[in-house]
Structure formats: C-alpha cells, structure tokens
Amino acid sequence: MLMSNDYSLKLPENRRVLAQGMRDGIPIGAGYFAVAFSLGITAKGIGLRPITCMITSVLCHASAGEYAVYTVIGDNAAYITMAVMVLIANARYLLMSCAMSQRMAPSLSFFHRLFMGFGITDELFAISIARPGMLNPNYMYGGMFVSIPLWALGSGLGCFSGEVLPERIVSALSVALFGMFLAIIIPPARDDKIIRMLIIISFAVSFVMSKLPGVSSVPSGTRIIILTVVISAIAAILFPADSSANDSAHATDGSANATDSNSNTAANSSAGAADSIDNNKGD
Amino acid sequence: MQHSIFIYILIAALVSLIIRAIPTTLLRRQIENPFIRSFLYYVPYVTLSVMTFPAITEATKNPVAGYAALVVGIIVAWFRKNLFETAIMCCLTVLVTEFFF
C-alpha cells in the first residue's frame, strides 16, 4: 500500500528487472560465500555460535563492518565502542548512500528508500549505480535476494566448521577477508598518489601503535577508530578531496555516468568496487 | 563487566542500517562542506588499511605467512583482480608458505 506502484511486481517489466538483479547477484554471492566463510572463522574464534553469526550477517552484511563487530565482542568493549566502530567501518556506505539518493525518483517511497539503503554493499552498490537512469528498486532487491543469503550461509558454515577443518586450512582462510580489503583499497591507490601515500602511512602508524608499549594495550577496535579519524582528518585538511578529483580515471562508465548529479568523491569511492564487478562479468 | 551479545548485535544492526539508509531516505541534495566530503572520501581507505595491517600477520599461525599474504594480496589487487580472486590468492599464499615453514 505504501509502496510506489511504479515498481510493482505486477508489471512484467519489473519482474524482468528483478530477474536481472538475481542473475547479477550470483557471481557476487559466490564471492561473498568464500569471504564470509573467513568471517565465520573469526566469529568462531571469539566463541560465537553459527546461528548468531548468520543473524549478524543478514543484519549487517558487511565484511569490514562485521569484522569490527567481532573485534568489539572479542574485546568485550563498551556498547558505545560497538556503535562507533560499526559507524567507522561502514562510513563508506554513507557516501554510496548519498550517491544513490541522487539517482532515486523523487516519488520513490520511504520504504523503497529504506530497503535500498539497507542493501548497500560495495558490490550491490556498484552494479546498481552502473545501470542507466533512475534506480529501479527491483534490480537491487534481486541482487540482495541472491547474495545476502549466500553471505549469511558462508559465515554460518565458517563458524560451524572452524574447529572441524585442519588448523592449516583455517589459518589460510582467515586471511581471505584481508585479501578482500586489499582488493578494495589497492586499485584506487594505483591511480591516486594521495591514497597510495595514505595507505602506506596508515600501515606504518598502525604497526607502530600495535607494538608501542602502553598504546598496544588499548583494545584494537578503539585503536582503529582513533587512527582512522586522526589520519583521515589530517588528510582532509592537507589534501581536500576535490583537488584530487582528477583521479576519476579509474571510475567505470557506470559510476562516471552517475557523476552528473553525484559528487566526484562518491563516484570515486565506488570505483574500486565497480572495477571488481567488471572483472566478475568478464569471467 | 560482561556485555550481552544480543545488545551488541542489535547496536551493530541499527548503526549499519542507519548509516546506509539515512542518505537514501533523507538526503535530497549534495553535501557542500569540503572538509566533510574529503574526510568521508578518505575514511574507507584509512580504516581498511589500519584494519589490515598488522592484523593480517597475526591472523595466521606463522607471521611469515601473513606477511607473504599481504605482499601477494597487494600485487594481485594492483592488477585489478576482483575481491574473490585476491582473497583466494592470499589464502593459497598462506597455505603454501605454512607448508614450508
């Protein structure tokens, strides 16, 4: 009743768009399954049950975000730490959400906007924003419907089999998540000198802080928040992002087309994810 | 004090939803403030970097394998392999490295 009728599944066109979203969600879901498995192992390490892990995965469905969740639970940190950590780890979704808001029909209902926002991940954002014109919610729903359950299933199985698998295999799988983080941050670093420098500085400072007597006893979650805010703020003061807008060379057609109404920053942030999707499609 | 897992996850779910849905539901125009725009632009790179290192070297049984996975992951990602391929290569690196060390 509250949904906009334009996007009703009674229309064959919308059912077709939903099916396209589901089709494009399959390679994404396959990747999610493997990465979530590694996340499940992390959850297992702090004593979570598979069902708890799966519920968290459906509700949060974010690699860095969920990693932050398990770090905070593992630290037994304050509730406010959880809120701030999840906020920081998912801050990039705020930018993506801003970009998506500029591509929604003004008449689009509150509930469509809410559910589309809920569905934002690097990959689902990338495939959605890459389509021309106004966003059809059904496309994103199709992608979510396929990929989010696979994400949850992967994390549940990872959590379940964490102790069943040989130690050697668990050790190997536990770096999958970090591999995914690298796949997000490195491609933009190749084209943007400032980001490249920022990553090197972040690695260095993070390493020093983890070894420094006194500082190293600060819970890792808190350390991540402090370092992120301080380093990003200094970078924002020294290098306002608009001056580095020429790095849009790595933006894909999809996100570049979106820039007529979007900020450059938002389009750039999506570029790494969009690149990976293009690779997926090429396979 | 022991915290409740339920409340932890509830907070995480709510914050995750709010941060994703606030702009789609409320924002009808662009953020103008250059500092906030720049800050938000840099946050993902910094936070993922800080989360990755040195944690990747502590995740493996042998730190050498973690360092090897870091180097391989950077190289693979540099050549724009997707999330899945990069993750798999890191895993294989650890598997192979720990076989020898």
Using 50, 70 and 90 to split pLDDT, how confident is the model at B20?
A: very high
Quick check: is A4 in a domain?
no
CB A267 within 8 A of CB A256: yes
Burial class (CB in 10 A: 0-12, 13-18, 19+), B3: middle
Which DSSP symbol is given to A6?
A: G
- Residue (of B6, B16, B13) closest to A87 by Cα position: B16
Q: Is the pLDDT of residue A70 over 80?
A: yes
> Pick the residue with more confidence: A230 or A36?
A230
Q: What does the pLDDT look like over B41-62, one tens digit per residue?
A: 888 789 889 989 998 998 888 9
Q: What does the pLDDT look like over A139-154, one tens digit per residue?
A: 999 999 999 999 999 9
**Verdict on whether the full-model pTM lies above 0.90:** no
* Amino acid in position A85: M
Q: Which among A48, A64, A178 has CB closest to B73?
A: A178
Chain B nearest C-alpha distance from A176 (Å) = 4
Chain B, 5 to 64: residues with Cβ < 8 Å from chain A are 5, 7-9, 11-13, 15-17, 19-25, 27-28, 30-31, 34-35, 37-56, 59-62
Structure tokens at A212: 């420094």
d(CA B44, CA B101) in angstroms, rounded, equals: 34
Could you list the residue range(s) of the whole structural domain that residue A160 is in? 9-282
> Pick the residue with more confidence: A16 or A27?
A16
Chain B nearest C-alpha distance from A82 (Å) = 7
A224-242 burial: b if 16+ Cβ within 10 Å, else e? bbebbbebbbebbeebbbe
Residue of A nearest to B1 (CA): A76
Residue of B nearest to A32 (CA): B84
d(CA A150, CA A144) in angstroms, rounded, equals: 10
Quick check: is A165 in a domain?
yes
Quick check: is A186 in a domain?
yes
Residue of B nearest to A28 (CA): B84
Quick check: is A1 in a domain?
no
- Residue (of A279, A270, A223) closest to A99 by Cα position: A270
CB B61 within 8 A of CB B100: no
Chain A, 17 to 36: residues with Cβ < 8 Å from chain B are 30-31, 34-35
Supply the pLDDT for residue B19. Answer: 93
Q: How many domains does chain A have?
A: 1
Whether ipTM exceeds 0.85: yes
Q: Is the pLDDT of residue A264 over 70?
A: no
- Residue (of A25, A229, A193) closest to B39 by Cα position: A229
Three-state SS at A9: coil
Q: Is the pLDDT of residue A247 over 60?
A: no
Three-state SS at A174: coil
Quick check: is A154 in a domain?
yes
d(CA A79, CA A21) in angstroms, rounded, equals: 36
d(CA A94, CA A125) in angstroms, rounded, equals: 11
